[in-house]
Copies of this chain bind each other. A is one copy, B any other.
Amino acid sequence: MVYIFVLLALLSSTSDAAVNDFCVADLKGPDSPSGYQCKPPKSVTVDDFVFSGFVAGNTTNIFRAALTSAVVTDFPGVNGLGVSAARIDIEKGGSVPMHTHSGATELLIMVKGQITAGFMTPFAVYTKTLKPGDVMVFPQGQLHFQVNSGKRKATAFLAFSSANPGVQLLDLILFGNDLPSALIAETTFLEVGQVKKVKGRFGGRG
CB within 8 Å of B: which residues of A?
1-7, 9-10, 12-15, 17-23, 26-27, 29-38, 41, 44-47, 49-55, 57-58, 61-63, 65-75, 77-87, 95-103, 105, 107, 109-111, 116, 118, 120-128, 130, 133-143, 145, 147, 157, 159-161, 164, 166-179, 183, 186-191, 194, 197-198, 201-203
Residues on B with beta carbons closer than 8 Å to the beta carbon of A20: 31, 121, 166
**A179 cross-chain contacts in B, Cβ below 8 A:** 118, 120, 125, 127
The answer to whether B3 touches A54, judged by C-beta atoms less than 8 angstroms apart, is no
- Contact call B38/A31, Cβ cutoff below 8 A: yes
A49-B126, A141-B141 are known; give 7 further A-B pairs, CB within 8 A: A18-B69, A21-B142, A29-B30, A52-B134, A75-B137, A101-B141, A191-B194
> Which residue of chain B lies nearest to A15 when distances are taken between CB atoms in the complex?
B73
**Which one of B29, B41, B159 contacts A159 once the chains associate, using CB atoms below 8 Å?**
B159
Contact A50 B136, CB 8 Å, known A95-B186, A161-B81, A187-B147 = yes
**A19, A49, A122, A170 interface centre (most CB from chain B within 10 Å):** A122
Given contacts A2-B202, A97-B189, A118-B179, contact A22 B139 (CB under 8 A): yes
Give the most central of A29, A110, A140: most B CB within 10 Å.
Answer: A140
Q: List 27 A-B contacts (CB under 8 A).
A: A5-B67, A6-B96, A7-B122, A9-B66, A19-B166, A21-B141, A32-B35, A46-B118, A46-B128, A50-B136, A51-B135, A53-B133, A75-B135, A75-B137, A82-B105, A82-B161, A83-B107, A84-B107, A85-B135, A100-B141, A102-B140, A103-B140, A120-B173, A124-B177, A145-B183, A147-B186, A171-B189
Whether A161 lies near B83 (C-beta < 8 A) is yes
